[in-house]
Structure 1
Amino acid sequence: MPRMTEVRIAHTADLDTATRNAARSLLYDVFDDMTAEDWEHALGGLHALIHEDGELIGHASVVQRQLLHGGRALRCGYVEGVGVRADRRGRGHGQALMEALERVVRDAYDLGALGAADEAATFYAARGWQLWRGHSWALTPEGVHRTADEDGFLYVLPTTAPLDLDADLTCDWRNGDLW
């Protein structure tokens, strides 16, 4: 019989070193192409954590970013580092992690956004995340640059801001993957 697991929400500042290290190790196990910059992108906001038998088996985080859309800077809850240990998948843990973060996004941000790998797109779409159909851009130290490789992989969760999913969307600057 599957056991119920509880999602714990904590800010990066409230995670002890062991929990931060466990989250980082989990994400490196889940994603073959995980980088140090990807891990940095998951820090500084709220983490959703699932433990089972004292071990971290699921992690996701939401960090604040600014996205430009329709002539406005929007406060965005950007979801990062969503991963469940391989031997614990298919048991609703990903849904529980996202449910916790979506509540945060809906209550605190103008919109939610994330970059979805092909294999996760159906999961996010089923939760109400909408594919961004317009062009993606990034505000860089050299100016605004097109990020065409991200088109078709960006999803948003509308909350309070009016959105035109066929228009341009520009993210703020950060090291590593811009989206």
Structure 2
Amino acid sequence: MTEVRTVHSADLGADELKAVRMLLDAAFEDDFAETDWDHTLGGMHALVREDGELIGHGSVVQRRLLLGGRAVRTGYVEGVAVRPDRRGQGHGAAVMTALERVVRSAYDLGALSAAEGAAGFYRARGWQLWQGRTCVLAPTGIERTPEDDGSTYVLPVGAVPDLHGVLVCDWRDGDVW
């Protein structure tokens, strides 16, 4: 039996956190840095279990993105993964359905940086490619992040923003997007 549970980071026990980290390490082939892990925590998690075993995960954390001259409360999706031997069976969609519910009910915008090869999955769910420039509000001011152009997606909750404008994320260690 497959179960999808949403839970805040604060309510995950040590064993659950360890299982999530192990899943992410396996799914990203040990290319999931400590800063990536840090970005995954502090918000709502969607956990997919089958017969009690964790097979899927994703989280949504709050960030502030600058868009059209204003700071937009954004649900930023992190750490979406399905156990490699369980992919292609709808578990990623179950994770995203739970996370999109959180985004639509609590934020003005959803955003994520799509891993290589995952863009079609997000587009099919209604996420839209940000076609303008991406930047970060760094400690020294606004800096371009051209390496993130073409991999940043948004999920409008209300009005659709100008997808050709400039999108600026808040600063954080590691990958800023």
TM-score range normalised by the length of the shorter chain: over 0.9
Q: Does the aligned pair in 1 maintain the 2:2–2:51 contact within 8 Å? A: no
2:119 corresponds to 1:121: yes
Which one-letter code corresponds to 1:106 in the other structure?
R
| Structure 2 equivalent of residue 82 of structure 1 | 80
| Deviation of 1:162 (Å) | 4.6
My pick for the range that moved more, 94-103 or 152-161, is 152-161
How many residue pairs match? The answer is 176
Q: Does the aligned pair in 2 maintain the 1:111–1:161 contact within 8 Å? A: no
Where do 1:131-142 residues align within 5 Å?
131-142=129-140
| Deviation of 1:54 (Å) | 2.3
In 1, Cα distance between the equivalents of 2:168 and 2:151? Answer: 14
Task: Please report the TM-score for the alignment, with normalisation by the length of structure 1.
Answer: 0.96
Q: Equivalent residue of 1:41, what SS?
A: helix
| Deviation of 1:161 (Å) | 4.9
Instruction: For residues 126-157 of structure 1, give each alpha carbon's deviation from its aligned partner in whole angstroms, at most 9, with x where no partner exists.
Output: 00000000000000111111000000000000
Deviating beyond 2 angstroms after TM superposition, the runs of 4 or more aligned structure 1 residues are none
Identical positions, percent: 63
What value does the CA root-mean-square deviation take over the aligned residues?
A: 0.9
| Structure 2 equivalent of residue 16 of structure 1 | 13
Instruction: For residues 48-87 of structure 1, give each alpha carbon's deviation from its aligned partner in whole angstroms, at most 9, with x where no partner exists.
Output: 0011232211100000000001001000000000000011
Q: Does the aligned pair in 2 maintain the 1:9–1:46 contact within 8 Å? A: yes
In 1, Cα distance between the equivalents of 2:96 and 2:48? Answer: 11
Q: Does the aligned pair in 1 maintain the 2:46–2:99 contact within 8 Å? A: yes
| Structure 2 equivalent of residue 46 of structure 1 | 44
Q: Which consecutive unaligned segments of at least 5 residues does structure 1 have?
A: none
Q: Which consecutive unaligned segments of at least 5 residues does structure 2 have?
A: none
Where do 1:37-76 residues align within 5 Å?
37-76=35-74
Question: Which residue, 158, 167, 170 being the options, matches 1:169?
Answer: 167
